[in-house]
Homo-oligomer: A and B are copies of this chain.
Amino acid sequence: MPRVIVGPADFDPGTALATLEADAGAIASFIGIVRGTADNRPLAALTLEHYPGMTEQALARIADTAMTRWRLLDCLIIHRTGRLEPGARIVLAAAASAHRGDAIEAMTFLIDWLKTDAPFWKHETFRDGTARWVAPRETDQHARDRWIEP
């Protein structure tokens, strides 16, 4: 059963991954962390806005798609919301399979799709007091689109 967790609470990667381990053989995971700078400017915080209700649905749809397309035993998405300081964990995407190729591909799909297909918006506050909304990146769209089936 794929699982999706959205909210302000931090998570422990070890505990989260342990929920996937039973007889899996292969667990691939990705953790996103708030960096200390953006465009070489020191960052004070990253704030994640989201669309409650739609977010959970969108992530569940992405996880279900992964379960259908790869031979997975389980997958897990955790995405934090609210104000996060540099060094804080933002997101975890993980997939468990008997086959390492499936686990790694599915995990890559999960992180590529949740960047473009789940209603989150990143807002950067810099240490110099300025702030901006993060612009969508074309490279993220390309990373997403490579998973579209012909």
Instruction: Point out residues on A near B: beta carbons under 8 Å.
Output: 12-15, 17-18, 21-33, 35-36, 86-87, 89, 98, 100-101, 103-104, 107-108, 111, 143
Contacts and interface: CB of A to CB of B under 8 A. Distances in A.
B30 A87 contact: no
B22 A87 contact: yes
A79 to B, nearest CB: 15
A65 B92 CA distance: 26
Nearest to A104: B108
Contact of A31 (B17, B32, B89, B101): B17
A interface SS class: mixed
Given A12-B14, A104-B108, A29 B28 contact: yes
B33 A26 contact: yes
Nearest to A32: B26
Interface centre among A28, A87, A89 (most CB of B within 10 A): A28
Given A101-B143, A111-B100, A24 B33 contact: yes
B21 A36 contact: no
A35 B17 contact: no
